[in-house]
Structure 1
């Protein structure tokens, strides 16, 4: 390897080439029941039968079809007993989709140039004006976190970050899943790539995201009715996890005690229960109460990026770590993946965040609302201030 930046592309090409030569091909889905041999034979007999024999032939076709359906369902359900307990829930949903025939990659966008439609839609969405010119001043409100390390990543840190990543997740355009990075020899290569990015030499491939349109509801010929799921390279996720592991222990000490969302080993269940009990008692005593629910529109993408890094400064995060985060937002681009093909590459000014239903490991995305909201509350909820006025997340 000549340099870390140049060698990453060669490394990806080598992994893909070896994978294609050694790994088995993807198992094809079982054929549709209407195309199985017993059903086809029964259908042929029905079509060729005389008029008097047609009712019996139709009854025989239904019987054969039901038998084949029962056999298929039983075979699918029997595979559930073979899966590991840790992946049982994921596998159960996979079986549900398989049994119901639901496909998440169904795309109905119409038009002669559908790829251009997808590119235009997401390019406009990810490059929309986000009040970037609004000046925001945020003063430091916490003490200096001198315990946050800023040096190169150690092999132990890399190994820990890899263990924290979930397996079985879809890779990005490099086609390298987390299982590959868990190989002992490749862990050392990953440390080199992460340290090169930490020193300001981000790998160009890490700035490219793959967007998969997933149908939501409504008219599926309209791009707005699709949710874009962003797939970033697994190695880039591990790099972000390394940064999170460095700052999380210190930030946990200054977060509000009543903030439980996006925090490890904590749940909002007790707060929901407390709120419900309050509502029940208010009703029992026939009292009145005002309850406010704030739903931030596109919470992950609506946060102004320059303001976000000012908030990092408010937490007294070392400048080296802030620069390490910033580099992942510079010169970013994306492509849209569809069953037909992929669109041309287009630049974006706000890095696309993973879908709300994806695992929140593409850090610092979960860090955004969790760290921004406490600063907002600290600046607005003071004696003599009226937080109900002009309370908005810049």
Structure 2
């Protein structure tokens, strides 16, 4: 049995909305002009303004009916019905908002139902009695549901390189095809088929010309990006030129070197590898680090809206989403709404010194390096984390960086403002040149720590933060964000089983 077409399936299921939308797509975007109307006497009206006045006259008459000549005398009931007249509860408002149908035309205020749901949800989140967990759940629901209802999933669009002239020719070819089916005589059908064949040839020629022009423009763009050193644009342009082809997941081997054939065993192997990689042995003799006697002047009060707005702006666009599926572009779509929602959440995080559980989950993605790609060791893992979590971390970083930077050694250059790798390379080159010029000895030591970030002992890290004078409240929040951290490896477009991560930083 052949699968049903979308329009046929919608008709059988009685889904009138889908049936209408599909029929509208088939018919195209053509819309008939306003039909001319007549006045009361039956005379056609030609002028636009007079047509508008006629419609006003008609609806004003229709919606203002005469009052009854003898209105009935109806007595009021002696007792009222048991209907609650108190202010509505939050649950009643939430239920009423959910019952409003989506996809309806907006009224005079131009506020669609989808925007009302989004605004109502974020207004409800402002209530002080909600917990941090419920607050985050509401924010996540508001953002993701609004994206799905308003923006929807990615839809198919015609290829960007097809010109308007080609689209017109495709439409003309479609009409020629319809003429074949509507032919009444054999002669008409033969004539229509000949016209269709010619139209089809023109479409193919036009498509080839458009594709050639498009490829040449992309090649010029890629060449210009390479000359300017714009690697992002060069990569994106090259990706467009090569198409959307993606290689399947490469087979990997067991620890003993035996190839793995089953999909589930490959997933288990990746879990085994990353679990071992991200859980390093604790140091045999952990250092005894004392806390500072006085804390650094770092603000531990709830963040202001301006701080949150700045942190949202600092998040880079175009990055992959985390487990909550909230992209940076969504948070930047309306700074006012986003700031208000996150302000309440961040305030509760600082009060409770706990972060949402969704922020404690990461999805490592495998990036191939050099060497034999059947070995897990030749892949680099990049963990996808929650974007709202990154915004909160950015707020903390903006508060901490200046105060902590003043207490770091002058010799430390890594991960510090205004101390780029280029500056350090230039400094090292000057030292080498001076040593050669004066014929003096020079000793340089290059140390590359294996799995440096993945092997950091967290207990020592918390002690170091307190040693530098970072307030205990901030250390507690950072520690809580790492307690119970889970990871699920992305393999073949699916997630593996979760495993706990006890060492390293993200």
User: TM-score by structure 2 length?
Assistant: 0.56
1:18 corresponds in structure 2 to: 146
Superposition deviation, residue 262 in structure 1: 1.5
1:247-266 equivalences in 2 (<5 Å): 247-266=400-419
- Is 2:356 the partner of 1:206? no
1:191 corresponds in structure 2 to: 343
Specify the SS of the correspondent of 1:301: helix
Q: 1:4 to 1:287 in 2, by over 3 A?
A: closer
Among 215, 240, 245, the residue aligned to 1:73:
215
1:138 corresponds in structure 2 to: 289
1:82-93 equivalences in 2 (<5 Å): 89-93=231-235
CA contact (8 A) 2:317 2:328 kept: yes
2:325 & 2:421 partners in 1: Cα distance? 36
- Is 2:269 the partner of 1:117? yes
**Count of residue pairs brought into register by the alignment:** 315
Among 426, 436, 443, the residue aligned to 1:283:
436
Among 300, 315, 331, the residue aligned to 1:165:
315
CA contact (8 A) 1:145 1:250 kept: no
2:158 & 2:462 partners in 1: Cα distance? 47
- Is 2:481 the partner of 1:338? no
CA contact (8 A) 1:215 1:226 kept: yes
Larger Rg: 2
Deviations 1:109-163 (A, max 9, x none): 35202222222221222223232x53311235x6734421112122122112112
CA contact (8 A) 1:218 1:225 kept: yes
Superposition deviation, residue 8 in structure 1: 2.4
2:386 & 2:285 partners in 1: Cα distance? 32
User: TM-score by structure 1 length?
Assistant: 0.70
Deviations 1:44-65 (A, max 9, x none): xxxxxxxxxxxxxxxxxxxxxx
1:29 & 1:254 partners in 2: Cα distance? 57
Gaps of 5+ in 1: 32-65, 354-394
1:177 corresponds in structure 2 to: 327
1:203 & 1:270 partners in 2: Cα distance? 40
Task: Report which structure shows greater RCO (CA 8 Å, sep ≥6).
Answer: 1
Deviations 1:220-261 (A, max 9, x none): 222221111101100111111111111111112112234332
CA contact (8 A) 1:209 1:335 kept: yes
